[in-house]
Amino acid sequence: MLGSLLKILCIFGWCLLFLFIFLLVVLVLIFFYPLSYRAEGRKDEENLFLQACVTWLFGLVRVRYEYPSPGKVIVKVFFFTVFDSGKKPGKRKDTKKECEKTASGDRHPNPKDQSNADPQTANKSLSDSLSGQSAEQAADDAKDSGIAERIWALWEKIIYTIRQICDKIRKIFESLNYYTALLEEEDTKLLFSHVLVRSRQILKSVRPRKISGEIRFGTGAPDTTGYGMALYGIVSPYLGQNFTVTPDFEEKVLEGKLKMKGHIILAVLVYHGLRVILDHRLRYFIKMMKREVK
C-alpha cells in the first residue's frame, strides 16, 4: 500500500516537473526568441502596393498584411489559417417582417350646426370685452413694473457670470503656476531624462536592421522640396547607403520603392518598460499631477 502511494506521488511529481519545464521553455521562447518582420512598398503615379509579414518561432506563426489585393490580414499557425480578414462571411437569408393591419379607421366627428345664437351668450361676450379692457390696462401697469425687475435680474446674472469667469481664470493661472513649478523640479527633470534614455533604447531595439529604397520626391515648390531634402540629410546616416532620395523641384510627386527588415525581442521591451514603471520618481510625479501629495 505504501509502495503504490509512493509511486503515485513520484509520477505526480514528475508530471509537475515536466509541466514546469514546459512552461519555462514557453516563457523563454516568448520573451527571448526574436519576432522578425519585413515590409515592402511600391508607389507610382496611380497605384500603391504594400506588403508586411511578421514571423515567429521559425515561421510556425505568421501574420501577413497585403494592400490593395484586396487589403487583408492573414494569421497562420503551422499550416492552419486562424484569422483571415478578407474572407467573406456567409450570406444570411433575408427575413421579412409581417405588418399588422388595423381594421378600424380613423373616425372624425361631424361638426354641430350652430345657426341659432343664444342672446345670453351675446350679452356675456359684451361684458367679457369690457372686463378685458380693464384687465389690459392693469396688465400694462404690471408690465412696466416687470421690466425693471427683469433688467435687475439680467444685471445680477451678468455680474454672476463675470465673477465665474474671473474665478476660472484665477484657477487656470494657479494650475499653470503649479504644473510649471512641478516641471522645473530636479526629480522631474531626472525622470524625463530617464524616460528619454529608455525610449531611445526601445527604438534602437525595434528599428529596422536593413533598409533599401529609391524615392522620387517633390512638393511642387522648390523651397518646400529643399526643406524636405534638408530633413532627409539629417536622417540619412541612420538609413544607410542603400536608401536614396531624388528631389524633383518642378513637379509634385512621391513615388518609388522601399524595403525593410528587422526583429523585436519582447524581453528588451519589458526590461526597459519595467525600469521606467518601477522608478519611484514616476510614481511621485503621477501623484503630484493628481495633486494627491500636499
Which pLDDT tens digit goes with each residue over 126-148?
455 545 555 566 566 666 667 77
**What pTM did the predictor assign?**
0.63
pLDDT at 109 (0 to 100)? 46
DSSP secondary structure letter of residue 250 = S
Nearest to 85 by CA among 96, 107, 70: 70
Q: Report d(CA 251, CA 104) in Å as an integer.
A: 73
d(CA 17, CA 36): 31
Can you give the pLDDT at residue 114? 45
Cα–Cα distance list, 77 to 58, 82, 267 (Å): 11, 7, 22
DSSP state string for 204-246:
HHHS-SEEEEEEEEEESSHHHHHHHHHHHHHHHHHH-TTEEEE
pLDDT tens by residue, 224-254: 999 999 998 898 888 888 899 999 988 888 8
Task: Give the chain's residues under pLDDT 70.
Answer: 1, 69-70, 88-145, 292-294
Query: What's residue 40's pLDDT?
Result: 92
Q: Which residue has the cell 370685452?
A: 129
Which pLDDT value is given to residue 116? 47
pLDDT at 117: 44
* pLDDT (0 to 100) of residue 127: 52
Q: What is the pLDDT of residue 132?
A: 54
Q: Where are the domains of the chain?
A: 146-184, 185-289
User: In this structure, are residues 256 and 31 in contact, taking their beta carbons and an 8 Å threshold?
Assistant: no
